[in-house]
Chains A and B, each alone.
Chain A
Amino acid sequence: MSDLGHVLILAGGLSYEREVSIRSGRRVAEVLRAAGVDVETRDTDATLVPAVLSDPPDAAFVTLHGGAGEDGAIRSVLELLGVPYVGATPDACRVAFDKPTAKAVVRSWGLNTPDSVALPKETFHDLGAAAVLARIVERLGLPLFVKPSRGGSALGASIVRTAEELPAAMVGCFAYGDTALIEKYIKGVEVAVSVVDLGDGPVALPPVEIVADGGVYDYAARYTAGHTEFFAPARLPAEATEACAAMAVAAHTALGLRDISRTDLIVDAAGRPYFLEVNVAPGMTETSLLPMAAGAAGRDLGTLCKGLLEMAAHRG
């Protein structure tokens, strides 16, 4: 057994990514148990606070995706309860989870990110959708990528290739959130770079290249084993690989993140990476990118998670 004592994994929650979160939590629990850690997994419901108060864990691993898991809410609660946890602080989460805000921060640090506009649905209602959308197409060009400003797993996201497709894409996006991020679509190699910091500063794991069947890394492609081909490390020239790693570490730093993050990037034909978004509670399922990156780096996922927990516990 580990000297960590007992560890709490938070999984489930009420976000759209509940199912993925449960799978992530299960995976983290398995690898931690294999690493000799005493693990308890809990959902974020009314039993959580009393349970934590009656038997405080030594540290918590948050595998809640979307909503309260990534917007800082649950981490604030953990701080109120005095439970150390792996990952970014609530303040940093709030910035990172909101994609337009995160993009603005990384851009201010000189990182490259596709041009975009973020607008709440009320704006379209008040000003008239047709006029606003036409201006967006004019300014950003086509194709566009439309996604909710918050949330993950490509829920509510779509590629828009013609101006006629844009209104339906907006409606689809607003099903998952009240603000849409409309971004210039960059054609290129889709890459995810996980960053871990075990106390010696943030380090990028090998970039993972994503090649979805049919070209769109949507929900089915993400969570149906076999529907996407992953290359870890990505098949990129050395300088592009380095640029991706540098961008992920820079984004992690710029956004004030801690312990662990995953940055999603697109590398264009010229080998130039573009920052798309960052995840403060990256997926840990069998088809997720961070575990793949850890594997490519020859790192045992259980040891890695345990190391992060020990650091969190030590931090207190």
Chain B
Amino acid sequence: MSQELDHGRTNAPQGSRIDAYVDRYAARAAGMVASEIRALFAVASRPEVVSLAGGMPYVTALPLDVVGELVAELVAKRGPVALQYGSGQGDPALREQICEVMRLEGIEAGADDVVVTVGSQQALDLITRIFIDPGDVVLAEGPSYVGALGTFSAYQAKVVHIAMDDQGLIPESLAQTIYALQTAGNRIKFLYTIPTFQNPAGVTLNEVRRRQVLEICQRAGVLVVEDNPYGLLGFDGEPLRALRADDPEGVVYLGSFSKTLAPGFRVGWALAPHAVRDKLILAMESAVLSHSSFTQLAVGHYLATQPWREQIKTFRELYRERRDALLGALQVLMPPGCSWTHPAGGFFVWMTLPAGLNSKAILPRAVAERVAFVPGTGFYSDGGGAQHMRLSYCYPEPDRIREGVRRLAGVIDQELQLRDTFGTGSAPGHAGVDTPGPDLA
């Protein structure tokens, strides 16, 4: 009988693979598989679940009636322009306004060096597209923004993480890594960094280190890509000076209106040295021809007519209250052995679990207990991060945040008991992405 089975296998016709194109995808599509973790986030979108997982800004705090009127006015008064193709570089008036926004962080730049992109995510994509050949090295903080890691992976870059502490990227670690990589013949194309209120770690690169990082990169001939979506959402004092403010030639700066206004407009930008800018414009045209004129003009109209600085202040106060709720609840409820960062702005807290716990393995139980977070593994390209999780406080109300932490603390207690019972944590080998889609609260 077993011979019959084997014989049947060898001579059998091909089966169905559902996807007729399965043998034709590019190598870079290999990691695009269904993910167990994504499936769990599908549950997290239900209102019963307190989601500390997503990074959705709280757009409800916007004067939506005013935004509605602005959009209607835009169509009525400038419809033929707003509904037409635009230039690859973006609307000139908006680029001027973007320079005004960047001035808050010490950046003096001309509108001619700004390229408007579909969120700063597209700027990341374009930068990677023009700089990265397969196998080139991108340096990134460990942990780093999952959307950037996804882009780097799509272009087959090799991501090397640089250690961080509560003051951000560690310059010594950066210098040593660059030296080791270059000595070994690697081509380092750029350092990708989120220096301010980092996603996911919530930490900020201090001023001394900012200078050191720039010096190290200048010396080594490594371009710095500074991603700064949260820079204006600091809870204490004036905005920090951007890296780009002190090195116009060595830094490409990525900005966004997704957190200071609304992500639905999908308006971000890159500020780049002239030659890089020229390539970005051509890359932009080949990607999408031009950004949406409609949303660019809508954002421009908002900036020109509304008290946008006041609105940012409203967001800051709102997020500060939520950060306080999260940190306060963690302090009271988390079992010993857990530690976490204390963000001075932005959306995220990075929590470290007691030894032996694996955040990815905890997520199913957390979802069953109606609370969600993002496992730390999503923020590393090298499989690291299992002992960490990202908790976001941007979307849930403070009371919900406290309830979410209460549930999460219970889950971690149970996991500690399991760890002690079996003398080990879980070692799950799930495939696919470990982070939610962009539309999860």
A-to-B contact residues, CB < 8 Å: 14-20, 22, 45, 121, 124-125, 129-130, 153, 155-156, 167-172, 174-176, 189, 209, 211, 218-220, 222-232, 235-237, 240, 267, 269-271, 286-287, 292
Q: Judge whether B427 and A172 touch: CB under 8 Å.
A: yes
Q: Judge whether A232 and B16 touch: CB under 8 Å.
A: yes
What's the minimum C-beta distance from A188 to chain B, rounded to whole angstroms?
9
Given known A-B contacts A19-B42, A269-B5, A231 and B15 have beta carbons under 8 A apart: yes
What's the minimum C-beta distance from B302 to chain A, rounded to whole angstroms?
35
For window 1-49 of B, CB contacts with A under 8 Å fall at 1-2, 4-5, 8-9, 12, 14-19, 21-22, 32-36, 38-40, 42-43, 46-48
Q: A219-B34, A235-B9 are in contact. List 8 more A-B contacts (CB 8 A).
A: A129-B423, A168-B427, A175-B428, A220-B35, A220-B431, A227-B33, A237-B5, A271-B4
A277 to B175, CA, bound (A): 56
Does any Cβ of A come within 8 Å of B425's Cβ? yes
Across the interface, which residues of A come within 8 angstroms of B36, CB to CB? 155, 218-220
Q: Judge whether B423 and A167 touch: CB under 8 Å.
A: yes
For window 357-381 of B, CB contacts with A under 8 Å fall at 361-365, 367-368
Does any Cβ of A come within 8 Å of B274's Cβ? no
Across the interface, which residues of B come within 8 angstroms of A17, CB to CB? 39
Q: Judge whether A124 and B421 touch: CB under 8 Å.
A: yes
Across the interface, which residues of B come within 8 angstroms of A218, CB to CB? 36, 431
Q: Judge whether A155 and B18 touch: CB under 8 Å.
A: no
A231 to B8, CA, bound (A): 12
Does any Cβ of A come within 8 Å of B418's Cβ? yes
Across the interface, which residues of B come within 8 angstroms of A189, CB to CB? 5
Q: Judge whether B33 and A220 touch: CB under 8 Å.
A: yes
Does any Cβ of A come within 8 Å of B432's Cβ? yes
A62 to B362, CA, bound (A): 29
Give the contacting residue for B418; candidates A171, A222, A228; CB below 8 A: A171
Does any Cβ of A come within 8 Å of B167's Cβ? no
Given known A-B contacts A15-B43, A168-B425, A230 and B33 have beta carbons under 8 A apart: no
Given known A-B contacts A14-B48, A237-B5, A271-B5, A19 and B16 have beta carbons under 8 A apart: no
Does any Cβ of A come within 8 Å of B406's Cβ? no
Q: Judge whether B426 and A172 touch: CB under 8 Å.
A: yes
Across the interface, which residues of B come within 8 angstroms of A156, CB to CB? 364
What's the minimum C-beta distance from B396 to chain A, rounded to whole angstroms?
18
Across the interface, which residues of A come within 8 angstroms of B362, CB to CB? 175
A124 to B417, CA, bound (A): 11
What's the minimum C-beta distance from B109 to chain A, rounded to whole angstroms?
44
Does any Cβ of A come within 8 Å of B187's Cβ? no
Give the contacting residue for A230; candidates B15, B32, B39, B421; CB below 8 A: B15
What's the minimum C-beta distance from B407 to chain A, rounded to whole angstroms?
14
A209 to B12, CA, bound (A): 12
A97 to B265, CA, bound (A): 46
Interface CB pairs A-B, < 8 A, 21: A14-B43, A16-B40, A121-B421, A125-B417, A169-B426, A174-B418, A175-B361, A220-B35, A225-B18, A226-B22, A227-B33, A228-B18, A229-B15, A230-B18, A232-B15, A235-B8, A235-B9, A240-B5, A267-B5, A270-B1, A287-B18
Does any Cβ of A come within 8 Å of B211's Cβ? no
Q: Judge whether B16 and A171 touch: CB under 8 Å.
A: no
Give the contacting residue for A45; candidates B46, B361, B425; CB below 8 A: B46
Across the interface, which residues of B come within 8 angstroms of A129, CB to CB? 421-423
Give the contacting residue for B426; candidates A168, A229, A231; CB below 8 A: A168
Q: Judge whether A237 and B1 touch: CB under 8 Å.
A: yes
Find the A residue at minimum CB distance from B365.
A175
Across the interface, which residues of B come within 8 angstroms of A174, CB to CB? 365, 418
Find the B residue at minimum CB distance from A219.
B36
A18 to B9, CA, bound (A): 35
B-to-A contact residues, CB < 8 Å: 1-2, 4-5, 8-9, 12, 14-19, 21-22, 32-36, 38-40, 42-43, 46-48, 361-365, 367-368, 417-419, 421-428, 430-432
What's the minimum C-beta distance from B30 to chain A, rounded to whole angstroms?
11
Q: Judge whether B34 and A18 touch: CB under 8 Å.
A: no
What's the minimum C-beta distance from B55 to chain A, rounded to whole angstroms?
20
Find the B residue at minimum CB distance from A229.
B15
Find the B residue at minimum CB distance from A127.
B421
Find the A residue at minimum CB distance from B420.
A125
Q: Judge whether B425 and A171 touch: CB under 8 Å.
A: yes
Q: Judge whether B421 and A125 touch: CB under 8 Å.
A: yes
Give the contacting residue for B424; candidates A121, A125, A167, A230; CB below 8 A: A167
Q: Judge whether B35 and A171 touch: CB under 8 Å.
A: no
Give the contacting residue for B12; candidates A15, A18, A124, A235; CB below 8 A: A235
Q: Judge whether B16 and A230 touch: CB under 8 Å.
A: yes
Given known A-B contacts A168-B425, A172-B427, A225 and B39 have beta carbons under 8 A apart: no
Give the contacting residue for B43; candidates A16, A45, A271, A292; CB below 8 A: A16
Q: Judge whether A18 and B422 touch: CB under 8 Å.
A: no
What's the minimum C-beta distance from A207 to chain B, rounded to whole angstroms?
13
Across the interface, which residues of B come within 8 angstroms of A224, CB to CB? 32-34, 432
Across the interface, which residues of B come within 8 angstroms of A222, CB to CB? 34
Which residue, of B17, B40, B432, has the highest number of chain A Cβ atoms within 10 A? Answer: B17
What's the minimum C-beta distance from A309 to chain B, rounded to whole angstroms?
26
Find the B residue at minimum CB distance from A174.
B418
A188 to B367, CA, bound (A): 34
A33 to B157, CA, bound (A): 46
What's the minimum C-beta distance from A233 to chain B, rounded to whole angstroms?
10
Give the contacting residue for B17; candidates A22, A209, A225; CB below 8 A: A225
Q: Judge whether B1 and A269 touch: CB under 8 Å.
A: yes
What's the minimum C-beta distance from A118 to chain B, rounded to whole angstroms?
17
What's the minimum C-beta distance from B404 to chain A, rounded to whole angstroms?
16
A231 to B426, CA, bound (A): 34
7 closest Cβ pairs, A-B complex: A226-B22, A223-B34, A225-B19, A226-B19, A19-B42, A269-B2, A220-B431
Across the interface, which residues of A come within 8 angstroms of B39, CB to CB? 16-20, 153, 155, 219
Q: Judge whether A219 and B430 touch: CB under 8 Å.
A: yes
A153 to B364, CA, bound (A): 13
Across the interface, which residues of B come within 8 angstroms of A121, CB to CB? 418, 421
A229 to B23, CA, bound (A): 12
Across the interface, which residues of A come within 8 angstroms of B34, CB to CB? 219-220, 222-224
Across the interface, which residues of B come within 8 angstroms of A153, CB to CB? 39
Q: Judge whether A209 and B425 touch: CB under 8 Å.
A: no
Q: Judge whether A237 and B423 touch: CB under 8 Å.
A: no
A171 to B414, CA, bound (A): 11
Across the interface, which residues of B come within 8 angstroms of A124, CB to CB? 421-422
Find the B residue at minimum CB distance from A125.
B421
Across the interface, which residues of A come within 8 angstroms of B432, CB to CB? 220, 224
Find the A residue at minimum CB distance from B25.
A226
What's the minimum C-beta distance from B209 to chain A, rounded to whole angstroms?
38
Q: Judge whether A228 and B17 touch: CB under 8 Å.
A: yes
